[in-house]
Structure 1
Amino acid sequence: MNPLKVANTLTSNVVHRINKRKSISAIKASPQVFTHLPAGTDRYQAALYFADPMVNAYQIRQWYEPLRRLSEFAPVVILVRNPETAIALLGESPLPIYYAPTIADIEEMLETQDIRAVFYVNQNIRNFQMMRFNDPAHVFISHGESEKAYMWSNQLKAYDYVFSAGQAARDRLAKNLLRYDAIERTRLIGRPQIDVEYPAPVVLNADYKTVLYAPTWEGDRPSMSYGSVTSHGTSMIKALVESGKYNVIFRPHPRSGINSHAYKAGLESIRVSFILNRKTGAPSYVYDESDSWGWQWACADICVTDISAVAYDWLATGKPIIVTTPKNENAAVSDSPALLKLPALSSQEASNAVALITELVAREDHDFIELVEHYFGETASGASMQRFITESLSVMGKQPSLDTDRVDA
C-alpha cells in the first residue's frame, strides 16, 4: 500500500476523531438546543431523519423550505445521528435539530413527542434503525427526481409511502419493483422546490446568454457511472470559453471526485480555465460550489446535465435542456419518455456542443408541456408546495382546510 496514502488516511481519521469529540462537547454544553423535547401543543409531529455526515447535506437543504412551510401546520424537527452534522445544521437550518446518537435517544423522543410521520431523503442503511418503530408513517421523499437506478431500488418497499413527483415516477416503480403496489404506496406531490424563490449569490454579464452545466458525480459502481466531467465536460467547457458567446455556470455534484482522481482532475482543469479567462466586459464564468440549489434556474437560459435529478428540476422550467449520454456502456439507462425526447449529447459530440446550444437557445418552442405534466403534474405557482403539505398532513392523519390556512388535528 502507498505509504503516503496510509499517512493521509491516518491523519484524516485523527482529525475526524478530534472534530467528533469537539462536537460532542459542544452539544453537551447546550442540551437545551440539541436535545430539547417540547411539551403540550408544541410537541413535534413530523421528523426528517438524517444519519449522514455533512458531505451529504445537499440532500436535505432542498427540503428546508417545504418542511418549514409544513411546520406552520405541524411542528417539524430534523433528527440527526452525527454530532458534527448536528452542529453544522444548527447554523443553517430553519428547523430545530434533535441529536439522537443512540436508539435510546430516539425512543425517548418518540415517547415524549407526537411523531406521526418520518421523512427520509436517502437510503442510508441507518434508516432502518428508525424504521423499526411502527407508529409513525415512514415516507421516502428522496433528494431529487431522476432516471437513475437508485430511484427504483428494492429498498423503497420498506417505506410506508414514497412521495413521487408525478406519474412518471409512479410508472417507473410499477415497472421495476416486483410485488409492489405503486398506486397504493405512492403519493404524487410535484416538486415543491420550484415554488421557492432563491436569491442569486452572483451577478452575471447581462450581455450574454447563460449556460448551466451541472453534471452528477462519477458514481461508485459501473451501473451508476452517469458523470460526464471527464467524458464530456472538459472539452465542452473549453469550446464554450473559446467561443466567447456565453456566460457559464459550472455546478459540480458535491460528491464529485471522491472515487476518481481523473474526475477530480477534470474539475480542477475547469476551475483553472475559469480563472484564466475572467476579463472585464467578457462572459461570466462561475465555478459554483454554493450550498444553494435553485437560483440557477432563473439565471440560466439552457442547462447541460447528466441523467440525474438536475435534469428533472430543470425540465420544470420549460427552458431548453441537453442530457449527456453516459460513456460507460454499463451505466443503467432506461427508455424513459424524457430521455427519448430530450436532446442528447454524446462524448464524441461534446467539443461541438456550442452549435447545439446555440440552436436550442434560439428555438422558441421546446414542446416540453406534456413531459412536464407527466413528470410533475400541475406546475402552476404554488401547486407543488400545496400538494406536498396536503399529502404530508394526510399521512399524518391531519385534515387541512381547503385554503391550507389552518389544519385540524
Structure 2
Amino acid sequence: MRVADDVRHLLSKSIGVVQHRIDHRTVRARLAARGPLPAPVEAVLYFADLPVNLYQLRQWYEPMRVLGERHPVAVVARSPITAKVLLAECPLPVEYVPSMEALEPWLARQHVGAFFYVNQNAANFSTMRMTEPAHVFVSHGESDKAYMASNQLRAYDCTFVAGPAAVRRIEAAVYDLDPSRLLEIGRPQVDVDWPGPDLPDDGRTTVLYAPTWEGDRPSMSYSSLLTHGEALVTSLTRTGRHRVVYRPHPRTGVQDSRYRAAHRRVVAVLEAANRADAAARHVADTGRDFGWQVRAADVCVCDVSAVAFDWLASGKPIVLARPESPTAVLGSTGLAARAPLLTAADAAGAAELVDHVLATPDPAVAELTRDHFGDTSPGASMERFLRAASQVIEGRHRAQAERHATGAGH
C-alpha cells in the first residue's frame, strides 16, 4: 500500500510539473501576441497566489480599473495558471512575472509608485525588499477577524483601512505602529454596480446566508456552515415566505472535508425546496462575483467575516452566527458585540429571528456603519480610495525624483 501511495504521489507531482510548463508556455505566447503595454505602469496589483484564492483579487478589479484611469495599473501574477485565468477574465492589464529575476528588469521599464497587496502570502515579502515603490496592504475585506490586526502590517509603508473602527482595532493589537500609516478609504466595492440575476419581486423576504470557510488555525474557526447551516436553511425554506441566497466562501472545505459535506447538505435542502415550490427560486451561488447579493437581499445571516462588513455598509439588517469554536476570537466592542447573534442551538428558529430583526430595525446599525466605513453615500468610498491611492503613488514619485536628482543610491 505504501508503495502504491508513493507511486500515485510521484505521478501526481509529475503531471503537475508538466502542466506548469504548459501553462508557462501558453501565458508567454498570449503575452507576446498582446505586445507591450501602451504606457508605463504606475501601480501594481500584486498576486503571488494560486487560482483558489483569486476571490481575494476579484473584488479589487473594478476599483483598480477606475484607478487605472488616473494611474496605469497592471496585475502582476507569479503563477502561470493564475496568469492564464487572469488573462481570460481580468479587465486590467496582466503581466506574468514568475521570479524576482524576471520582476527586476520588468520593473525597470515601468514607473511604479506603489505595489498593492490583497493578502499576506509569504511570497509578497520577497518583492517588498524593493525600496523604490511604496508597498500598500489593501486586504480583501474588512472584518473583526484576528487576521485584520496582524503584526505583519508593520512591513508595509501604509495600510488602507475602512474606517475608525479598523484604526482602533489595529492600534489596540499592534505595538508602536505609526497611525499615519493607516489611511481610511471606506469600502470602494460598495460603489460598484455588480451584475447578477434578477430575483422575483414577489413579496418574499430574501435572506443572504454567507458562511465563511473553516479557517486554517483555531483562532480563525468562525464558520457556521457545519454547526448552523443545514438547520438554518431548512428553517427559512419551510416558511414559504423567505427566499435563500446561499453564498459559501470559495475556500469552503479546503482545510476540512466535513465542511464540503455540510455544503452539499445545504445545497440539497435548497434543491429539494425548489422542487417542492418552483416559485421560491432559492439560489445556491458559487459564482465568481460577490456584490449583487447585497443588492438583492433584504437581510443577511453570516459569520464574523468580510461579508458581514460589506453587508453592514448597506445599512440593512444583519444577524451574526455565533461561532461554536471556543478558540474563535470575538471582539468585545466590534460588530459581534452589537449585532443579533444566532447560536447553533437556535439555528432551527432562524426564520423567526430574521423576521424579528426586519420588524424592529436597530438604530445602532447606522452608527456602526459610520464607525466602520465613514461616509457611505454613493461614490464616497470609491473617491476616498482613489484619493488615497493617488496620494501614495504621487508621493512616491516625488520622493523618487528627489532621490535620483541628488544622485542617491537606489
**The two structures share one fold, judged by TM-score above 0.5:** yes
The alignment covers a number of residue pairs equal to 395
How far, CA to CA, are the matches of 1:349 and 1:379 in structure 2?
A: 33
1:177 alignment partner in structure 2: 174
How far, CA to CA, are the matches of 1:76 and 1:33 in structure 2?
A: 20
Cα 1:9–1:198, aligned 2, differ >3 Å: closer, same or farther? farther
Cα 1:306–1:10, aligned 2, differ >3 Å: closer, same or farther? farther
- Which residue of 117, 120, 138 corresponds with 2:117? 120
1:130 alignment partner in structure 2: 127
1:403 alignment partner in structure 2: none
| 2:404 is the counterpart of 1:389 | no
2:22 alignment partner in structure 1: 22
How far, CA to CA, are the matches of 2:316 and 2:365 in structure 1?
A: 9
How far, CA to CA, are the matches of 2:220 and 2:329 in structure 1?
A: 7
How far, CA to CA, are the matches of 2:241 and 2:3 in structure 1?
A: 47
- Which residue of 362, 377, 381 corresponds with 1:380? 377
2:402 alignment partner in structure 1: none
How far, CA to CA, are the matches of 1:226 and 1:6 in structure 2?
A: 35
How far, CA to CA, are the matches of 1:31 and 1:254 in structure 2?
A: 28
How far, CA to CA, are the matches of 1:129 and 1:32 in structure 2?
A: 26
Query: Residues 199 and 296 of structure 2 are in contact (CA less than 8 Å); yes or no, is this contact kept in structure 1?
Result: no
2:351 alignment partner in structure 1: 354
Tell me the SS of whatever aligns to 1:368: helix
Pairing of 1:299-314 with structure 2 (within 5 A): 299-314=296-311
Query: Residues 228 and 344 of structure 2 are in contact (CA less than 8 Å); yes or no, is this contact kept in structure 1?
Result: yes
| 2:253 is the counterpart of 1:257 | yes
Q: How far off its partner does 1:11 sit?
A: 5.8
Cα 1:25–1:274, aligned 2, differ >3 Å: closer, same or farther? same
Amino acid at match of 2:21: R
- Which residue of 240, 251, 254 corresponds with 2:236? 240
Query: Residues 78 and 97 of structure 1 are in contact (CA less than 8 Å); yes or no, is this contact kept in structure 2?
Result: yes
Amino acid at match of 1:50: F
Tell me the SS of whatever aligns to 2:193: coil
State TM-score, norm by structure 1: 0.92
2:90 alignment partner in structure 1: 93
How far, CA to CA, are the matches of 2:359 and 2:305 in structure 1?
A: 25
- Which residue of 176, 192, 195 corresponds with 1:196? 192
Q: How far off its partner does 1:32 sit?
A: 2.6
Query: Residues 114 and 134 of structure 2 are in contact (CA less than 8 Å); yes or no, is this contact kept in structure 1?
Result: yes
Q: How far off its partner does 1:206 sit?
A: 2.7
Amino acid at match of 2:320: V
Cα 1:364–1:180, aligned 2, differ >3 Å: closer, same or farther? closer
1:402 alignment partner in structure 2: none
Q: How far off its partner does 1:43 sit?
A: 0.5
Q: Which runs of 5+ in 1 are unaligned?
A: 400-409
How far, CA to CA, are the matches of 1:163 and 1:56 in structure 2?
A: 20
Cα 1:376–1:33, aligned 2, differ >3 Å: closer, same or farther? farther
How far, CA to CA, are the matches of 2:180 and 2:57 in structure 1?
A: 26
Pairing of 1:9-408 with structure 2 (within 5 A): 12-32=12-32, 37-38=36-37, 42-181=39-178, 183-201=179-197, 203-204=199-200, 206-279=202-275, 280-364=277-361, 366-397=363-394
- Cα deviation per residue 1:66-91 (whole Å; 9 max; x = unaligned)? 00000000100001000000010011
Tell me the SS of whatever aligns to 1:278: helix
Query: Residues 320 and 366 of structure 1 are in contact (CA less than 8 Å); yes or no, is this contact kept in structure 2?
Result: no
Cα 1:206–1:5, aligned 2, differ >3 Å: closer, same or farther? farther
Cα 1:369–1:203, aligned 2, differ >3 Å: closer, same or farther? closer
Query: Residues 144 and 334 of structure 2 are in contact (CA less than 8 Å); yes or no, is this contact kept in structure 1?
Result: no
Cα 1:253–1:12, aligned 2, differ >3 Å: closer, same or farther? farther
Query: Residues 230 and 269 of structure 2 are in contact (CA less than 8 Å); yes or no, is this contact kept in structure 1?
Result: no
How far, CA to CA, are the matches of 2:201 and 2:378 in structure 1?
A: 28
Q: Which runs of 5+ in 2 are unaligned?
A: 397-410
Cα 1:250–1:13, aligned 2, differ >3 Å: closer, same or farther? farther
Q: How far off its partner does 1:350 sit?
A: 1.0
How far, CA to CA, are the matches of 1:14 and 1:355 in structure 2?
A: 54
Tell me the SS of whatever aligns to 1:134: coil
Query: Residues 209 and 244 of structure 2 are in contact (CA less than 8 Å); yes or no, is this contact kept in structure 1?
Result: yes
Amino acid at match of 2:254: I
Cα 1:324–1:44, aligned 2, differ >3 Å: closer, same or farther? same
Query: Residues 317 and 361 of structure 2 are in contact (CA less than 8 Å); yes or no, is this contact kept in structure 1?
Result: no
Query: Residues 316 and 379 of structure 1 are in contact (CA less than 8 Å); yes or no, is this contact kept in structure 2?
Result: yes
Tell me the SS of whatever aligns to 2:280: coil
Amino acid at match of 2:164: Q
Cα 1:208–1:15, aligned 2, differ >3 Å: closer, same or farther? farther
Aligned-pair identity in percent equals: 42
How far, CA to CA, are the matches of 2:30 and 2:106 in structure 1?
A: 17
Structure ranking higher in helix proportion? 2
- Cα deviation per residue 1:126-151 (whole Å; 9 max; x = unaligned)? 00011010011100000000011100
Q: How far off its partner does 1:273 sit?
A: 1.5
Cα 1:7–1:328, aligned 2, differ >3 Å: closer, same or farther? farther
Q: How far off its partner does 1:19 sit?
A: 2.7
Tell me the SS of whatever aligns to 2:56: helix
